[in-house]
Amino acid sequence: MHFVMGGIEMSHFMLFLAILHSILAVAPGDNSRDSSRLLRIKSELVDPSGVLSNWSPRAHICSWNGLECSNDQMHIISLNLSGSGLSGSIPHELWNLTSIQTLDLSSNSFTGSLPPELRQLQNLKALLLFSNFLSGEIPEEISALKNLQVLRIGDNMISGVIPPSIGNLTDLRVLGLAYCQLNGSIPVEIGILKHLISLDLQNNSLSGLIPEEIHGCEELENFAASNNKLEGDIPLMESLESLQILNLANNSLSGSIPTALSQLHNLKYLNLLGNRLSGAIPSELNQLVQLEMLDLSRNNLSGSIQLLSTQLKNLAALVLSDNALTGTVPTNFCTRGSSNLRQLLLARNKLSGEFPLAVLSCSSLQQLDLSDNHFGGELPTSLDKLGNLTDLVLNNNSFTGTLHPEIGNLSSLENLFLFHNMITGGIPVEIGKLQRLKTIYLYDNQMSGPIPSELTNCSSLTAIDFFGNRFSGSIPATIGKLKNLFLLQLRQNDLSGPIPPSLGYCKSLQLLALADNKLSGTLPPTFRFISQLSTITLYNNSFQGPLPQSLFLLKNLKIINFSHNRFSGTIFPLSGSSYLTAMDLTNNSFSGSIPSGLSMCRNLTRLRLAHNLLTGTMPSEFGQLTQLNFLDLSFNNLTDEIPPQLSSCKKLEHFLVNNNQFTGAIPPWLGSLQELGELDFSSNNFHGTVPAELGNCSKLLKLYLHDNSLSSIIPAEIGNLTSLNVLNLQRNNFSGSIPSTIQNCKKLYELRLSENLLTGLIPYELGELTELQVILDLSTNLFSGEIPSSLGDLMKLERLNLSFNQLQGRVPASLGKLTSLHMLNLSNNHLEGQIPSTFSGFPLSSFLGNDHKLCGPPLASCGESEAQKVKRLSRTAATGITVAIVLTSTAICLVMIYIMLRIWCKWRKVLISNSDASGGKEEEKWGFGNEKKRVGEYWKVNSVAQVPSETAEMKKQNNASFYTTTSK
């Protein structure tokens, strides 16, 4: 019995030892506390991927995911949960794992800030928290981690400054603070970090100078501070002999490139792009024989290129674009067979001369970009020496000549950019040998001839752009072989004939531009296969006939422009895509109604259907087009009223329905369209008044309501349209006066109010519209009163028409100042007086119909004034009275003489009679007979009608004699 009991006790004891061993195995040393801490950490984290699923008391702690224990399994020395999809704040329990040496929580979604408690991790050598969503500032307490060698906390939302206490981390090898929101300057204490190998400060907002103390980091191999706001000169770094990467791109560094950089003999990567560096590129950089990549682009560097691939034998990429470099590529730039240069980018400089033949020796070259320079001359026939070339970019130069057949030998060529040069001739058929060619841009040249069908052998082609050349003939019938083509731009050439049906088999096509050619025929029904088509422009051709119904299947169309062709039939086939943003079918012969299905295109911004034969009404469903900003339905046969649902189109800027048969009133809700800039309701059958609400359209520039049946007054609210440039209300039934508020429309340059029933005076305030230039037309109204002199202030005015009114008074002399006038019509009024002399060049018709009271060229010359006439008449009357007195006196004297002579004759007769009777008869014959005749002649000559003129003439002669005598 005792033995049995003893056996039982022994078995219990053994079980106890097993349990104790198990407990000790699970939690050796302090692991029991770490285990409970880690389990609490697990409970605070969101773990969608279950990375922490084996964190359980049932498993040995050293086997938990991401954990690493010391060799004696007594301590946790590493926690690596990088890229585990974890989120939440970093648990505070983590900072109690004091034995940990490596903490890597990078590439997760942790939030919150770095707490001061991290100073407790005194054994920490590597802290990696990059690529999370951490915020706040870098705590000063981080400087207490004396054993820290790697600190990478970049790609977060950490802000503030880099604490100067960072210099206390004297064992630091790697400092990664890139892609944060840090500001301030780079602390000079960085120079204390003697063992620093990598310093990454990219993509922050650091400013100020790069500290000279950087030269203290003598073991530095990587220094990247690109995309900041650093300024000043590049400091001397010749002591950084281990430096392999120097990236200071996209800052505001200035001054010249220091020649001391040439002493960094281990440098492999030098990037200074996007700064304000100036001066020449130091030729000493040729000493950087280890250099593989050099980018000095986007600076203000000048002078010639002095870098040589023959010395920089490891150089694979040389990027000098966007500077002010002159000259050309040095003749000894490359030596065939010894160069490793694969990328030479010299775009957007001031390089000149002919094509640099030295480049042809760079046989390893893959990318050559000479674009946007001043190169000229013909392209060399030996371009095929660059057998490895994948990208040839020569656009925006002045290259001439033709594209040589040797281009077909560049079997690796993928992208050919020759646009905007002066290349002539045709495309060589050898182009068809380029099986890898993806992009060919030849636009804006002077090339001609047909597009060779061999081009369609380039089965890798994705983009063809031949815009703005003189290519003729037809589109290759085999174009459908280009299954990968997504862009075909043939606009503005002389292509003719129909669209080949095979084009429909370019199923990857997204942009098709055939506008501005001489193409004709109908659209092929195979277009239905181009299901990816997004943009199609066919305008300015001679296409005709109805559209294939199958076009309705093109569900990805966004932009359609078929304007200025001869299409007919319904536009329904173009309404199948709900992605449509712009449609222009102007100037065709489309008929039928506007499909209401267009209202499903909720992103439609431009709809132009003008100059067609459309009938019916405007669909009320258009009110659903809330993005619409341009609606042009003008010159059709549309009827009925404007649907009120369009009041929902709040973004409408251009609303044109002119030259239709719309009826009803101008809707007041137009005043709610605050973006409206152009409103044309002219040449319809609108009646009623102009709603005052239009005055709310403060952005309105052009308002056309002419040729309707509108009546009543012009509302005073028109003066609220202070941005208005054009106002045309002519040929309506408006009455009343022009509102004086029109003076507020200071930007008007065209004002037409003719052929209405307007009355009253022409407002003096019109003279304040000093921007009026095109025309001021107030003709055929009932205006009265005088022409306001203020119109003389319209110095820019070119045409003025005030004809067919009831204007009175004189033409203001101020109008003579209108030196820009080339058309004037003041006819058919009641104007009078002399017209300004500057109007003499206008035709007679400009002034007729003014009761013959206007004078001056081109009319008859003006006579004397009324005052002068009165004065002249007064003088004439006085002269007449004087002459009458003189004549009367003379007549009396003559009568007296006559009487005396009669008496004397009678006396003598008596005397003679007494002496000789016969002699007396003879004297009587001659004396009385002749005397009687002379008296008669006397009265005839000196009649009343002749005396004044003779007297006046004598007076003039006497006066002339007097003045002549006096003047002497």
Q: For the beta carbon of residue 111, count every other beta carbon within 10 angstroms.
A: 15
Each residue's pLDDT tens digit, 518-531: 999 999 999 999 99
Helices and strands (H and E) in the chain: how many: 5, 64
Measured CA to CA, the distance from residue 780 to residue 777 in angstroms comes to 9
Give residues with Cβ within 8 angstroms of 85, minimum separation 6: 47, 48, 49, 51, 108, 109
Percent of the chain with pLDDT over 70: 86
What is d(CA 558, CA 566) in angstroms, rounded to the nearest whole number? 22
| Residue 669 included in any domain | no
Average pLDDT of the residues in 475-499: 97
> 688: how many CB neighbours lie within 10 A of its CB?
13
8 A C-beta contact, residue 377 and residue 354: yes
The reply to whether 508 falls in a domain is yes
The angle subtended at Cα 589 by Cα 553 and Cα 502, nearest 5°, is: 40
Q: CA 902 to CA 896: how far, in whole Å?
A: 10
Highest mean pLDDT among 810-819, 904-913, 946-955: 810-819
Segment (H or E) for 954: helix 947-967
Q: Residue 426 in contact with residue 450, Cβ under 8 Å?
A: yes
The pLDDT assigned to 584 comes to 98
Does any domain span residue 695?
Answer: no
| Pairwise CA distance, residues 819 & 796, whole Å | 8
Q: Are 398 and 375 in contact (CB under 8 A)?
A: yes
| Per-residue pLDDT tens digits for 138-180 | 999 999 999 999 999 999 999 999 999 999 999 999 999 999 9
Domain assignment of residue 806, given as a range: 759-861
Q: How confident is the model at residue 576 (pLDDT cuts 50, 70, 90)?
A: very high
The answer to whether residues 141 and 118 touch, using CB atoms and an 8 Å cutoff, is yes
| pLDDT over 60 (residue 709) | yes
In a domain, 372, yes or no: no
Three-state DSSP class for residue 904: helix
Task: Supply φ then ψ for residue 356, to 5 degrees.
Answer: -70, 105
Where does the pLDDT of residue 896 fall: very low under 50, low under 70, confident under 90, or very high at 90 and above? low
DSSP 612: S
Other CB atoms closer than 10 Å to residue 228's CB: what's the count?
Answer: 24
**Side-chain-facing half-sphere of 887: CA atoms under 13 Å:** 18
Give the confidence band of 335 by pLDDT, cuts at 50, 70, 90. confident
Q: Could you give phi then psi for residue 429, rounded to 5 degrees?
A: -65, -20
Note whether residue 937 is domain-resident. Answer: no
Question: What pLDDT, on a 0 to 100 scale, did the predictor assign at position 863?
Answer: 75
Please say if the pLDDT value at position 4 is more than 60: no
Across 96-104, average pLDDT: 94
Handedness of CA 34, 35, 36, 42 (dihedral sign): positive
Higher pLDDT, 554 or 957: 554
More confident residue, 32 or 113: 113
What gap in Å lies between CA 128 and CA 257, rounded to an integer? 35
Q: How confident is the model at residue 891 (pLDDT cuts 50, 70, 90)?
A: low
- Say how far residue 44 (Cα) sits from the centre of its chain: 54
Q: Which helix (H) or strand (E) holds 947?
A: helix 947-967
- Distances from the Cα of 714 to the Cαs of 7, 642, 710, 729, 756, in angstroms? 121, 21, 10, 9, 11
- Cα–Cα dist 954/557, whole Å: 101
Question: Confidence band (pLDDT; 50, 70, 90) for 218?
Answer: very high
Number of domains present in the structure of the chain: 2
Largest CA distance in the chain: 237
DSSP line for 888-919? HHHHHHHHHHHHHHHHHHHHHHHHHHHH-HHH
Residue 868 pLDDT exceeds 60 = no
Collapse the DSSP code of 928 into the 3-class scheme (helix H, G, I; strand E, B; otherwise coil) and give the result. Answer: helix
Helices assigned H by DSSP within 318-379? none
**What per-residue confidence (pLDDT) applies to 744?**
96
The answer to whether residue 838 sits within a structural domain is yes
What CA–CA distance (Å, rounded) separates 946 from 949?
Answer: 6
pLDDT higher than threshold 80 for residue 724? yes
What does R_g of the chain's alpha carbons equal in angstroms?
51
Q: What is the pLDDT, as a whole number, of residue 6?
A: 40
Tokens 């009543």 correspond to: 712
Q: Where residue 486 sits, what CATH number does that domain have?
A: 3.80.10.10
- Of 822, 837, 861, which residue is a domain's last? 861
DSSP letter (8 states) at residue 875: H
Q: Please indicate whether residue 58 or residue 253 has the higher confidence score (pLDDT).
A: 253
On whether residue 677 sits in a domain, the answer given is no
Question: Residues 819-841: pLDDT tens digits?
Answer: 999 999 999 999 999 999 999 99
Confidence of residue 902 (pLDDT cuts 50, 70, 90): low
Q: Which one of 837, 861, 885 terminates a domain?
A: 861
Please write the tens of the pLDDT for every residue from 179-206. Answer: 999 999 999 999 999 999 999 999 999 9
Contacts of 861 (CB under 8 A, 6+ apart): 855
Spatial distance between the Cα atoms of 678 and 171, rounded to a whole number of angstroms: 71
Q: What pLDDT digit, counting tens, does each position of 425-464 carry?
A: 999 999 999 999 999 999 999 999 999 999 999 999 999 9
pLDDT at 893: 54
Average pLDDT over every residue of 947-966: 33
Angle at the Cα of 750 (from 763 to 606), degrees rounded to 5? 135
The residues near 473 (Cβ < 8 Å, ≥ 6 apart) are: 449, 450, 451, 495, 496, 497
Among the listed residues 140, 137, 201, the one whose alpha carbon sits nearest the alpha carbon of residue 167: 140
Express each pLDDT in 51-95 by its tens digit.
999 999 888 999 999 999 988 888 899 999 999 999 999 999 999
What integer pLDDT is reported at residue 26 of this predicted model? 38
pLDDT value at position 966? 31
CA distance 269 to 584: 52
Would you say 257 and 281 are in contact if contact means Cβ atoms under 8 Å apart?
yes
Residue 412 has pLDDT above 80, yes or no: yes
For residue range 347-376, list pLDDT tens digits in order.
Answer: 999 999 999 999 999 999 999 999 999 999
Does residue 7 register a pLDDT over 80?
no
Residue pLDDT, tens place only, 662-704:
999 999 999 999 999 999 999 999 999 999 999 999 999 999 9
Q: What mean pLDDT value characterizes the chain?
A: 88
- What pLDDT does 815 receive? 96
Domain end position, chosen among 811, 845, 861: 861
Identify which of 745, 737, 843, 844 has the alpha carbon closest to the alpha carbon of residue 781.
737
Cα(753)–Cα(700) distance, rounded to whole angstroms? 18
Strand partners, 656: 632, 680
Q: Is residue 281 domain-resident?
A: no
Which pLDDT score is estimated for 704? 98
Percent of the chain with pLDDT over 90: 82
Please report how the helices 31-44 and 2-26 are oriented relative to each other, as an axis angle in degrees rounded to 10: 60
Is residue 557 within 8 Å of 579, Cβ to Cβ? yes
The 10 Å CB-count burial string (b at 16+, else e) for 933-945 is eeeeeeeeeeeee
* pLDDT score of 890: 57
